[in-house]
Chains A and B, each alone.
Chain A
Amino acid sequence: MRGLAKWWLWSFAAVLAAQQPAPEAAAPEVVRRTHAWSPATVEALATLPVQEGGRVKPLSAHAAATLHLVHGRRDMKLDTDGDGKDDLTLTPTEWLLDVWFFPEVAAHYPLFRIENVEVLDAIGIPHEGGQRFRLEYVSFAAMAAPGRVGVPGQKLIELAHQYSRKQPLDRSPVESHLVNSAQQVNTYYDLHYQMEVLRSTFPIEGEPLRAALGEVESLDFAALLERLPAFRTLLRENSDKLEDPAWAGAARLGAALQQLSGSDAGAALFPPTGSVGDSEVWLGLGGVLDLGVRGDIAAEKLGMVRHLQRAIVATEQGPRERELVQFRDAVVARATARGEYAKVELENTYLTKSWHYQALHWFLLAIVVVGVGWLAPRKRWLWALGLVATAIPLGMLTWDIVLRCLIRERPPIVNLHDTFLFIAAVGVAAAIVGEVIVRRRFVIALAPIFGALLIALARAFEVEDGKDQLAPLIAVLDTNYYLATHVTSINMGYAAGMFGALVGTLWLLLQAFGIARHDQAFHKAVVRACYGIVAFGLIFAVFGTIYGGVWANDSWGRFWGWDPKENGALLICIAQVALLHARWCGWVKDLGFCVGAALTGIVVAFSWFHVNLLGIGLHSYGFASSTKSALFWYYGIQLALVAVGWFGTVMRRVGAAAAVPAAVPAGD
């Protein structure tokens, strides 16, 4: 049992290590940031509803997904005093507000994550040192500054355009990096200039234009919007005079407005005036201008534009924040009237509370509690405390999943990110039940590690993927019935497969290192638990796989198409059925069964993620190419553990067999 406690501490350290951020080799750029957003304003703006990616969401969610995409992190760390150390951390909402309201400052933030100096060389950004794989954060300003091969950002876009003609699987790592970086720069570019039109003034040149729009030299965006009906009338009544030099100003203004009208990028900030039934599509500033040109802009929307514009041009932080909050309140009022705000607050609360992240910490605590329980194995209250310590984060994780269901009005799993959280919850819940049955402490010992690792992976995947994880579904997935049956079932099969692999590996290592070797009942209990988990997994894997075929039969016209994802699920079923049959017919004993269960983990990982990386098939709604290296690491580690466990166990048995005759007295 002491051996187990030692092993326990190593596991805890491994989980802690997985939580540490990756080392950053390059010192961040010194940033001259002289402003600060008040917490109240940031809190209010976090719940500003915006429409992006086909749904209305809080600004905090939009900011977080965008920061994940362009920065590859959940926050923005800045070195504002030049000492080479980060001294300020911005939340995604603060970062987005900086980009919108202080773009010239935000342009110097260390933003684009470059992981290969060949990429820097290709776009002409100077760097120190020759290490090939080194992490650097490059600012937008550096991307825009002319270098030795021209403007790096422009060069990046050119190269990306060239390489994007290749199939993703045919690109080299550097080419893939360039294509991804170009997407990040494009996204940021749109964000950087999203509010530019509100900083602009439009010259009012020529007598006819001044007579129609007022005797002014120029107009800002909001003022121009007010006068657009008059401008439209002017143009309509004098269309034949636009070639006249006296009308050149009017012609130029018309051309500028035509260019800006309807051209929107980034999140839409202005809800339509009517109900959802009239129009679901929110507008950006280009869309608002388009309404103005058509003489269809409501006073309410004009008021929103004014508030936002005043906030943009304000020179002091106080008035800026006041106008911004008024803008937010106006948008919230309209969104509420349209029935689109109810989920925004809930989603922001979900993001703020981040129950699964809290659960991660509680799982880490549970690892310690369960570990302490190993030191006093006969204390029932310590055993019960371990169960409770594991059940608390399970409750948090379950609540997190429930909130996601409520926000999306969907079953628990609709994308790859969801699978991590769901599998973690199912695995831990099953482990608690299993522990109550066998009461040997090893199942409950694995549960918090399993939960913590999967939540950590979910968070890493979220940042890596850089997408909205609550995004609406493509048409073929729009069926809560099959999402609730097939998807849930198959993921319970994944959960059991992975947990079974963990238990099988545990048994192998216990045997190989002779841990608790005198407690044969304990070792038998581990094998029985492994068997039970594999059997549990088989039920869900088989039903989920076949029911996936039933879904495919209703949506694609065939039950089985040998698609990679289908094949992956089939491989899990085959592995588990073969293993159970081998056990039943006596072909494998405890050792063989645990080796098989441990290897099934590789099959599950292949089905769960690897088939998505093949770039083929109909299940093309969850690709994340850089997950590949993580998968190969897992395969390697799992194979190594199985090899060590098997070899150690066999050697121990050989040793034990050799020792038996020596112990027998001569002559017997």
Chain B
Amino acid sequence: MNGPAAHVAPPVAPSPLRAVVDLLASMKLTIVLLLAFGVLTFAGTLAQQHQGLFVVQRDYFESFWVVWDTQMPLPLGRDLTLKVPLLGGYSILLALFVNLVVGGVVRHRWNWRNAGILVAHLGIGLLLVAGWVKLHYSYAGHVALYEGKSTRTMVSFHDFELALLRRDGDRVVERTVPATAFEVAARAPRSVTLDAPDLPFQVVVSGWLENCRPQQKGPMFATDMPVVEDGQGAWFLQSVPPEKERERNTAGCYVTVIEKVGRKEHKAVLHGLDLRPFAEERSPFRFEVEGTTWGLDLRRVVWDLPFAVRLDRFEKSDHPGTMMARDFSSWVTVFDGAAEGRPVHIYMNHPLRSHEHVFFQTNWGPQPGSSMKGPPWWSVFEVAKNPSDAWPKYASYVILLGLLVHFIAKLIRFLNSSTRRATLPEMS
């Protein structure tokens, strides 16, 4: 203690910015986020048993947070209900992306020794970006066509819209409102009024049901739901619990059209029930105002395609002696410029990619056991528009390359290391 006093520099507190960057770059944060992601994935997987894929995807993996409602079995046959708050997939993946960019790429040592890790991190970053683009800029639906028929629209699986139709000569003019704009506000006992200055009427939407069955009211039973009479009888909507597979839901609502002049009312029950897969074959509620016939329809959202498609031929074959499909495929003609169109063969695992849209062969009809018999056959295509369609494929190659480079280099270093040689047992 008698020696010269050592000069010890006082600890310098990192700046707040530096502290934040350090945190964001931290590998420990990576681990925490990965574990949170693991718990969320596990919870979301189990939750699908009761809630279905669509709801779980929305509530668990596309959200900022979620409460995992689960039951833990206890002795004596009792269950303990647990409500566990979890970070949602959106928050976790966003944080992981920032962590990856700051810690895994920017602050990582850029040298040959880390080349594999850097490449793998870049691939994962590309994958996360692809997922984000898909979430925000893609949509998917389906197209069903009989042989010889063509279309240039696709129909949503899940979402509904209220369509106001007016015939103008040979064409039908449409004006649509997505159901997402009013479905919450229009649930009983509330209602939503839709109006536009150029329309001679208002539309009041009420009694919105996410899933329902239209029923004809008979004299032998009562219902709490409003009953609307039309020329064919009295109708009401029977509420049905939402399906796990959301595309099986049939939305419904009551509408009252109120003429702006004279306040005359036209009432109707609307529902999205369609003879799937041909969602477009519908008969809307018709009413007349000031000499013009209008139509009002609650239907699955319809999108325009940038090209027309005609189904020329559909073929399917079964494994011999069974009703198990071995193969089914469609020959279509795509009209995207040239008058005669271009022929395309769409079959399993070989979709049509054109104008940022992808057509997948997904189904056909009539299916065995249904009341209808084929031929004629119809073919069903899932259609997706996704700007990041091919990015995951490239990401997978990049990640594989990075991991191979890193671990092979590590293996070679280990094989040549003195540590390994020192641990080899002596044998004779």
Q: Report which A residues bind B (CB closer than 8 A).
A: 51-55, 169, 268, 280-282, 377-380, 383, 437-441, 472, 474-476, 478-479, 482, 521-522, 524-525, 528, 532, 535-536, 538-539, 542-543, 546-547, 549-551, 553-564, 567-568, 570-571, 574-575, 577-578, 581-582, 584-585, 587, 611, 614-617
Contact = CB atoms under 8 A, between A and B. Distances in A.
B378 interface: no
B428 A380 contact: yes
A129 to B, nearest CB: 26
B344 to A, nearest CB: 15
Contacts of A615: 49
Interface string B303-328: 00000000000000011111011111
A383 B420 CA distance: 18
B423 interface: yes
Contacts of A571: 38, 41-42
Interface in B382-428: 382-384, 386, 389, 392-393, 395-396, 399-400, 403-404, 407, 410-411, 414-415, 420, 422-428
B399 A55 contact: no
Contacts of A559: 130-131, 134, 392
Given A379-B428, A438-B423, A555-B348, 14 more contacts: A280-B320, A380-B428, A439-B427, A476-B349, A478-B326, A478-B327, A479-B348, A482-B349, A539-B400, A559-B130, A560-B131, A581-B30, A614-B45, A616-B49
B384 A585 contact: no
Interface stretch (B4-12, B53-61, B255-263, B268-276): B53-61
26 contacts: A53-B322, A268-B321, A379-B428, A380-B427, A380-B428, A438-B424, A439-B424, A476-B349, A479-B348, A479-B349, A521-B423, A535-B407, A535-B410, A539-B400, A542-B403, A546-B395, A546-B399, A550-B393, A554-B360, A555-B349, A559-B131, A562-B61, A563-B53, A614-B46, A616-B48, A616-B53
B254 interface: no
Contacts of A482: 349
Question: Counting chain A CB atoms within 10 Å of each CB, which of B319, B348, B414 scores highest?
Answer: B319
A554 B351 CA distance: 6
Contact of A553 (B320, B383, B389, B403): B389
Contact of B34 (A378, A554, A578): A578
A377 B425 contact: yes
B186 interface: no
Contact of A54 (B49, B324, B392, B396): B324
Given A55-B319, A553-B389, A568-B45, A378 B349 contact: no
Majority SS at the chain B contact face: helix
Indicate the size class of the contact surface on chain B. Answer: 35 or more
B392 A614 contact: no
B28 interface: yes
Contacts of B49: 169, 614-616
Given A478-B327, A542-B399, A559-B392, A51 B320 contact: yes
A474 to B, nearest CB: 6
Contacts of A521: 422-423
Contacts of A268: 321
Contact of B384 (A474, A525, A558, A570): A558
* Shortest 9 CB-CB contacts between residues of A and residues of B: A54-B319, A546-B396, A280-B320, A585-B27, A380-B427, A578-B34, A557-B382, A521-B423, A567-B45
A55 B320 CA distance: 7
Interface of B: 27-28, 30-31, 34-35, 37-38, 41-42, 44-46, 48-49, 52-53, 56-57, 60-61, 127, 130-131, 134, 140, 244, 318-322, 324-328, 348-351, 358, 360, 362, 382-384, 386, 389, 392-393, 395-396, 399-400, 403-404, 407, 410-411, 414-415, 420, 422-428
B326 A577 contact: no
Contacts of B328: 475
Nearest to B407: A535
Contacts of B35: 574, 578
A154 B304 CA distance: 56
Contact of A561 (B45, B53, B350, B389): B53
Nearest to A603: B38
Contacts of A547: 396
Given A378-B427, A474-B325, A581-B30, A564 B384 contact: no
A481 to B, nearest CB: 8
Nearest to A376: B427
A567 B425 contact: no
Contacts of A52: 321
A282 B57 contact: no
A538 B56 CA distance: 27
B426 A282 contact: no
Contact of A574 (B37, B60, B396): B37
A276 B56 CA distance: 48
A272 B207 CA distance: 61
Nearest to A616: B48
